[in-house]
Amino acid sequence: MIDLTDRVALVTGASGGIGESTAKVLAENGADVVVTDVVDGIEETASTIEETGSKAIASEMDVTDEDEVEAVVEATLDELGRLDILGNVAGIFPTHTLEEMTKNDWEQVIDINLTGTYNCTQAVLPAMREQNYGRIVNVSSASGGHIGWSNDLAHYAASKGGVIGFTRSAALDVAQHGITMNAIVPGLIDTGAPQSVAEEEELEAGVQMTAFGRMGEPEEIANAVTFLAAEEASYITGAKLVVDGGYTLV
């Protein structure tokens, strides 16, 4: 049984979708959670968590702003005493044809999805090294290595493929400090994000590409993050855990 009692987690992009669900499932398993995002919703997520008996802190935090990230990590250590788990979930998912894509579109996606993951990781590592313990879970995407239902995502695919490369290489660097780093590779998850970029027909075609013939629920990703965040996942590092209902099987 997973028991995260006395563990402290920081989750990015936790106002809604997969991040919110991850924060809640970590808390249901005993962790205290710092709930961060750039949009409204962190207070609601934090209040729900407190109902489970875990501590929760809501902090506005833009993953592209290194100073802000460092300040939130510092406040976490001051208020909760440690930092064991980082869930790098924040991400954006805009579509642009390559022809229309501007350098600014490209940089925005890379900055949030890839550099944001790097910024948060660098900020938590000193505390994790000192504790000689840490669990970092990065949310990538099937789009990072498998081109399926939606095109016009070259920047997104590059950012999420980058998250896999970062995870695998950095896992080697941090292993000596008792820290694991793994990536989750979700397929189509019913958070509203896929619906915001795809027509209904296109989305339905994507759903039909999954072995289960349905989208995943945010909790199904949160459960996988929580497993990798647990002590029980002690011999797993640099791994890609595909959670896609069989979407990349064909």
Least distance (Å) between residue 111 CB and ligand NAD: 8
Name the residue among 114, 245, 233, 225 with its Cα closest to residue 179: 233
Q: Residues 6 or more apart from 36 whose CB is under 8 A from it? A: 10, 11, 12, 13, 14, 42, 58, 59, 60, 61, 72, 90
Q: How many other CB atoms are there within 10 angstroms of residue 64's CB atom?
A: 16
Site string for ligand NAD, 102-121 (x = CB under 6 A): ----------x---x-----
Site string for ligand NAD, 53-72 (x = CB under 6 A): ---------xxx--------
Range 211-240, binding ligand NAD (CB under 6 A): none
Least distance (Å) between residue 187 CB and ligand NAD: 6
Active-site residue flag, 156: yes
Angle at which helices 116-131 and 154-174 cross, to 10°? 10
Query: Rounded to an integer, what distance in angstroms lies between the CA atom of residue 157 and that of residue 142?
Result: 8
Range 6-25, binding ligand NAD (CB under 6 A): 12-13, 15-19
Q: Which is nearer to ligand NAD, 82 or 146 (CB)?
A: 146
Least distance (Å) between residue 225 CB and ligand NAD: 10
Are 150 and 220 in contact by the 8 Å Cβ rule? The answer is no
Count of positions on this chain that bind ligand NAD (CB under 6 A) = 28
Least distance (Å) between residue 9 CB and ligand NAD: 16
Residue 214 vs residues 102, 203, 246: alpha-carbon distances, Å: 34, 10, 10
Are 247 and 211 in contact by the 8 Å Cβ rule? The answer is yes
Return the residue of 32, 37, 84, 220 that touches ligand NAD, per CB under 6 A.
37
Q: Which is nearer to ligand NAD, 128 or 139 (CB)?
A: 139
Range 80-99, binding ligand NAD (CB under 6 A): 89-93
**Could you please report the per-residue DSSP string of 141-156?**
-GGGT---S--S-HHH
Catalytic residue among 133, 156, 235, 247: 156
The two structure tokens encoding residue 53:
């008996």
Q: What burial class does residue 104 get, using C-beta atoms within 10 Å of its C-beta: 0-12 exposed, 13-18 middle, 19+ buried? A: exposed
**Placement of tokens 């802190």 in the chain:** 57
Return the residue of 9, 31, 38, 222 that touches ligand NAD, per CB under 6 A.
38
Range 152-211, binding ligand NAD (CB under 6 A): 186, 188-189, 191, 193-194
Least distance (Å) between residue 127 CB and ligand NAD: 20
Residues known to be catalytic = 156
Residues within the interface to ligand NAD (CB under 6 A): 12-13, 15-19, 37-39, 62-64, 89-93, 112, 116, 139, 141, 186, 188-189, 191, 193-194
